[in-house]
Structure formats: C-alpha cells, structure tokens
Amino acid sequence: MSLVDSHGRKIDYVRLAVTDRCNLRCAYCMPSQGIDFVPRKDLLSYEEMLRMLKIFQTLGVKKLRITGGEPLVRKGLIDFLAKVNDQVFDGFHLTTNATLTEPHIPELLKAGLKSVNISIDTLNRQQFKEITRRDELEPVLRSIDQFYDNDIPIKLNMVVMKGINEDAILPMAHMAQHRAIGVRYLEEMPFNGTDEIKPGYFTYRDIEDILATQFPDLKKMAYERTSTSQNYKVKDWKGDLGIIASYSRTFCGTCNRLRITPTGQLNTCLYGGSVLDIRKLLRNGSSDKEIGQHIQTAVANKPKDGFEAERLRIDRITESMAAIGG
Ligand code: SAM
Ligand code: SF4
Ligand code: SF4
C-alpha cells in the first residue's frame, strides 16, 4: 500500500510532534509567556502514537522525524523511540533545540537516531539569549560537538530575521568549514503563536545574495528530489550551506511529507491546518484498516502547494510552529 496524492506525489515521510511544550521561547515561534499549551489528556499517548505509526508504516511511510515543541521535554520519549525502532521504523530523525540532548546522546543513538536538525540562530551568547529568551547556548554547542563525534549527520537550522541576526549568517556558515555539517538558513514564516504579521521577511533571494557576496566562489549544488533546501558548496569546505524557502514555498512540487500535531491532527500541508482528527479515530473504536482509509482519503486531497493550502483554510494563520510540528 502507498499514499499518493491527486498531484501524483508519493507521500512517505511523517513528521510527528510529540509535544507543543518547550523550554525556550524563540521570538519567531511563540510569545514570552508561551502559547496555550494543550492539556495532557489531549496529547496522544505513546501507545496511541505507536499504533498510529504502525498504520502509517503499512501505508508505505518510510521516514519518521520527531519534532515538537521541544521533543526532549516530554517524559518517556527515549523509551518510546526505542519501541518505535524495535517495532515500526528503522530509526528516526530528530529536530531539537539541543539544549537538553547532551546527557541523552548515548541513549538516543541506541534508540535509533539517524540524524539531527538543531535549531540555532546565532553563535553569540547575548544574541541567543535575546532570540530564545533563555541563556542556553553553551549546552547546544556541546551537543553539536558530541553528535558530531558520534558520527550523527547534523544540520544546523538558522531562522534569518531582518535586523535581528543577519550578522550571524557568516559565523554560522563557518560551522560548515572544517566539519561535515550542513548549515541551513530558513526564511521566517508567520507561525509565531500570535496573529501579528510582520512585513518584510527575508526571502531566500536576500539570503542567497548575502552568501554570494561573502563567498564569491559559492556553487549551487544539484537539487535533491524531495529536499526542501537549495544547497551550496564553498570551495574546500567539508560541510555545505543551504537555504530553505519555507515562506516562498518553492519546493512544493516534490513535497512528500505529512505532519501530525501533538493532539493527533493530520496536516497534509504546513500552511493548511488539520484535515483529519486521528486521535478521535484512535479513541472511538475504529479499526486500523478504517483509520488507514481515512488517512488515504485525506492525503489524496493534499493541496498542490502551500499557497493553495493557505487560500483554502478558513482561519488565519495564528498558531505556533510548536503546535504544528516544525
Ligand atoms: N524545538 C525544536 C527546534 O526548535 O528545533 C523542534 C520544533 S521547532 C517548531 C522546528 C523548527 O521550526 C525549528 O528549526 C525552528 O527554527 C522552526 N521555526 C519555528 N517557528 C518558525 C517560524 N516562524 N519561521 C521559520 N521557522 C520556524
Ligand atoms: Fe521551542 Fe523550537 Fe519553538 Fe524555539 S523553535 S520556541 S526551540 S519549539
Ligand atoms: Fe509541502 Fe505544504 Fe511545505 Fe509546500 S508548503 S513543501 S506542500 S508542506
């Protein structure tokens, strides 16, 4: 069985947000007081998540990313991941702020960690504190070193914000100079837990211009199918640089992903909102086969791209990426 949408795209990648809670308060993601975190009873339990992932696996999903909120703040996460590794998928990928990972790296490796995407918007302690509203840069840097020493592929995600951290673009790039690390520059999106829409986001073109000015020998790499990143090489550097046009949405044609929120809502597009309440089905006695059929129908209707999804949604985008799963 497989999941194919009406635009012929094969969907084989699930991003599961295990919590909407987080120990940081990144300004582009949530307000300083946090968002209205969902009550615990509304979160999918680990048993429910395991059952749901098995259903996705029978539908042909091959790749799992664990995200949030901050995944590591949910208790029991690593035992759950070990079960997923034993019973469902061969390993998992993780998106994390890496403030809490350092003591858990051996367990994460044992539970099947295949790669890690780490959010880090600057290498300057004061600037990190201003952006995340927490003074936690040091453990993030230590975690990066340790993941690297354990041969875990690393991508560093930096949200580029006009007037806030442009000066961090160059120092971040140098993280890819001597080590095989991917530095990814992300366009800021309107998912910040408020209905405040800031004008003048930095687009991928602005970021590319800055990189091209800094690195005259910057070379565009071939575009990898289903990747959302346009990557670049600087001569003789071990790692690479990339730009993710999440706001300009230039990669929708090959999109192969689904998102599941911490409350079990299926989002077939980041910009679209929930299209299926999987939690309700898991709790109302539906069989795995019935749930699978609902998922197939929802996926068949996946919007062509993020613009269509945004047009079709009834409400305005006000949620936080922590509630959707970045
Ligand atoms: N807490 C983890 C982390 O920060 O990596 C996982 C969840 S976080 C929501 C996932 C990704 O979404 C991060 O790389 C973060 O930078 C990105 N993100 C959150 N809000 C965003 C926004 N408004 N625009 C662009 N990226 C955003
Ligand atoms: Fe937390 Fe990640 Fe959102 Fe930052 S981007 S507040 S680390 S969920
Ligand atoms: Fe896929 Fe929607 Fe993101 Fe486009 S905007 S890449 S369709 S999730």
- Per-residue pLDDT of 307-325, as tens digits, reads 999 999 878 888 899 999 8
In a domain, 81, yes or no: yes
pLDDT for the residue numbered 239: 98
Q: Token digits for 124?
A: 């300057």
pLDDT for the residue numbered 202: 87
Q: What is the pLDDT of residues 65-113, one digit of tens each?
A: 999 999 999 999 999 999 999 999 999 999 999 999 999 999 999 999 9
In a domain, 216, yes or no: yes
In a domain, 5, yes or no: no
Counting atoms of ligand 1 from 1, which one is nearest the CA of 190?
23
In a domain, 110, yes or no: yes
**Nearest residue (CA) to ligand 3, atom 5:** 306
CB of 65 shorter than 6 A to ligand 2: no
Supply the range of the domain harboring residue 169: 13-324
Counting atoms of ligand 3 from 1, which one is nearest the CA of 272?
2
Cα(231) to ligand 3 centroid in Å equals 18
Sheet holding 113-119, edge to edge: 219-220, 229-233, 240-244, 182-187, 154-160, 113-119, 92-96, 63-67, 13-17, 257-260, 265-267, 276-277
Strands (E), 182-268: 182-187, 219-220, 229-233, 240-244, 257-260, 265-267
Among the listed residues 198, 213, 151, 200, the one whose alpha carbon sits nearest the alpha carbon of residue 179:
151
CB of 25 shorter than 6 A to ligand 2: yes
Among the listed residues 184, 185, 22, 44, the one whose alpha carbon sits nearest the alpha carbon of residue 116:
184
pLDDT for the residue numbered 197: 65
> How far are the Cα atoms of 33, 130, 136 from residue 133, in angstroms, in the given order?
10, 5, 9
In a domain, 8, yes or no: no
Above pLDDT 70, what percent of the chain? Answer: 99
In a domain, 7, yes or no: no
**Nearest residue (CA) to ligand 3, atom 8:** 269
Contact 67, 104 (CB under 8 A): no
In a domain, 126, yes or no: yes
The structural domain count of the chain equals 1
CB of 77 shorter than 6 A to ligand 3: no
CB of 20 shorter than 6 A to ligand 1: no
Q: Token digits for 227?
A: 């990747």
Cα(306) to ligand 3 centroid in Å equals 5
Q: What is the DSSP letter of 155?
A: E
Q: What is the CATH number of the domain that holds 302?
A: 3.20.20.70
pLDDT for the residue numbered 314: 79
pLDDT for the residue numbered 253: 93
Low-confidence spans in the chain with pLDDT less than 50: none
In a domain, 300, yes or no: yes
Contact 101, 143 (CB under 8 A): yes
Q: What is the pLDDT of residues 268-287, one digit of tens each?
A: 999 999 999 999 999 999 99
**This model's pTM is above 0.95:** yes
